[in-house]
Structure 1
């Protein structure tokens, strides 16, 4: 059975999961619970400090939308500012939209026609965006998508309450993730990622064209930076903070 078809989840149960979320994996679970509670199929959680400001995928911290949708969106040229950009610069905190808003426009530009087709193919016919102002003046933004009627007044109140908690937790985890990344070299990061994929020291050395001794040094360095004694502990710690 599809996750969004399993029925609603109690608000207090979701809140408890949000408050104890200690990794991006935990946060993904919380977002999927929000999908179920409000009857949506997909979510996007925007990064406060995006890795790539030009692509949709590069602006996201977490998401459940199909990879094909992200590829299709980024392939459409000259799109007008998307809701996350609008919310980032406006005073509006919650914004609901429908694909009918696009369909009703006269003389729809070719790129918007393509966007409408893309949204339709991926069953993203309605959605809601929520923005939470951060202390640095930026906004943390999340959105849910699917095919349902607009949120009622009671649902909006409920949604805003949970969204504030999600985004507050996301901000904390993103800062933790940024801190871990900032202290590591690119080689250390690659070693960590390869070890997480199952490669041993010798295989990593071959992949990186380095000596085994150098790889062992890099492993020791990243263990110290993650405050662990062994690589296995470092991998668990990296997964816990959402680094891999």
Structure 2
């Protein structure tokens, strides 16, 4: 059985327990809004980092004050997961400061001019973005947008730390119960690992000295535990959960 960590961080004040008891998403959103206002931005957005089996924009949003119209249009553009924003955040752990072009990909700038103008019209001229992980390795994208100039290092550090405290409370309140994928057997993980290497059921059977029928049984069990519809999705989720 997985035991939940109940130790309090030295950075969590006495209000932490009250924050956790409230709706975690609302509390997280309120905290991000406070950070936004303190540092002179107009918009904030927190989202799960797009993964192989969850790439859409709207589906990944956790908390935001973006206009609904902009969320709908950006989601329909399918630019989020292939944007310069995500590409840049894959290459650094440092905050990135940029203009409206960060939301598109280089090859699509011409075809997304109208969308870019809408970002500009609404005041999302400049954006500071960064990524964070919580204690159970969930990956997040945080964005603050507005008209203000770049932050200096000290102000940026204060902003990131404030978000980190808010995220820690949100993470503690939304930590999932023991998941089925945590009950994968050694054989199921072995079959997933060899499947990820491109091996067929017959080849895996030879490697593990078992029948191909047994291999298929292990893979089907792994797919069920990972809530996957096929082997490819099971492998993708196994990678995401760092099982293989």
Give TM class, smaller chain. 0.5 to 0.7
TM-aligned CA distance change 1:98 to 1:153, over 3 Å:
same
Q: How many residues align?
A: 163
Is 2:84–2:102's contact at 8 Å kept on the other side of the alignment? no
Q: Which runs of 5+ in 2 are unaligned?
A: 1-11, 181-244
What does residue range 118-197 of structure 1 map to in structure 2 within 5 Å?
118-134=118-134, 138-175=138-175, 178-179=176-177
Runs of 4+ with deviation above 6 angstroms? 14-19, 100-103
TM-aligned CA distance change 1:97 to 1:146, over 3 Å:
same
TM-score, with structure 2 as normaliser: 0.55
TM-aligned CA distance change 1:78 to 1:38, over 3 Å:
closer
Q: CA RMSD of the aligned region, Å?
A: 3.6
Is 2:46–2:61's contact at 8 Å kept on the other side of the alignment? yes
TM-aligned CA distance change 1:78 to 1:33, over 3 Å:
closer
TM-score, with structure 1 as normaliser: 0.55
TM-aligned CA distance change 1:49 to 1:69, over 3 Å:
closer
Aligned pair 1:83/2:95, yes or no? no
TM-aligned CA distance change 1:67 to 1:101, over 3 Å:
closer
1: distance between equivalents of 2:25 and 2:170? 8
Q: Deviations over 1:204-244 (max 9, x none)?
A: xxxxxxxxxxxxxxxxxxxxxxxxxxxxxxxxxxxxxxxxx
What does residue range 54-133 of structure 1 map to in structure 2 within 5 Å?
54-77=55-78, 80-84=82-86, 86-87=88-89, 89-99=90-100, 109-133=109-133
2: distance between equivalents of 1:102 and 1:65? 14
2: distance between equivalents of 1:140 and 1:98? 20
Q: Secondary structure at the match of 1:91?
A: coil
Q: Which shows bigger deviation, 41-50 or 138-147?
A: 41-50
